[in-house]
Amino acid sequence: MKEIIGFHGTKLENVNSIILDNFKIAEIKKTDNHWLGHGIYFFNDYELAKWWADTKVTSHIKKYARKSIASVVRAKIKVENIMDLDNPFVMNRLEQYCQELEEEIVAQGIILNFVMGDNSKKGLILAKQRKRCFWLDKIKQDKNIDVFIYTFTKNDPSYAISKYHVSAIKELGFNYNEKQICVSKVEFIVERSSIDENSVREVIIV
């Protein structure tokens, strides 16, 4: 078994139920366009999870005019089969899996449509995201993958301190990277804890 520590940003009102009853995974929909397929998502560090939670809470307040507080849940994840797509040789395995599955789908005469009638620029972006979500979900199922890990690159994220700072980063040849962890089943999440900026308050349920 391999052990991973992940950080999940959420609203404060969700924390108690997560700690006591674990996370919940929503039912799969054909319009799903998750980054690494269906599952529970974590960042590999606290600050990114807190930024994500702050973003979601701000959106929630604007949409529903109800106050909320951003919070972070720290989780211990124990799994057997991990595909870390930051490893180029693991990425080669992903390519091989996709080719095998595509051959099966073609042989069955199945035609996949991820555009869903929307040929706009936004629609094509969503179609690409749905395609990635579909393939990774299929690989999880067929190859018994418990966790996908991948680092997404951001050129100009909202948490960058200033436009000048972003320009300097680009000139130095760097990008902002966000490592995400997608866990396919809640039973792999064996510990949950509420954690704040100073790591002072921590309540763990095993």
Lowest mean pLDDT among 4-13, 57-66, 86-95, 143-152: 57-66
Q: Which tens digit of pLDDT belongs to each residue from 91-117? A: 999 999 999 988 999 999 988 888 988
Buried b (16+ CB within 10 A) or exposed e, 93-113: ebeebeeebeeeeeeeeeeee
> What's the pLDDT score for residue 29?
78
Q: In this structure, are strands 147-154 and 82-84 parallel, antiparallel, or unpaired?
A: parallel
What DSSP element (H or E) covers 103? helix 88-107
Q: How confident is the model at residue 163 (pLDDT cuts 50, 70, 90)?
A: low
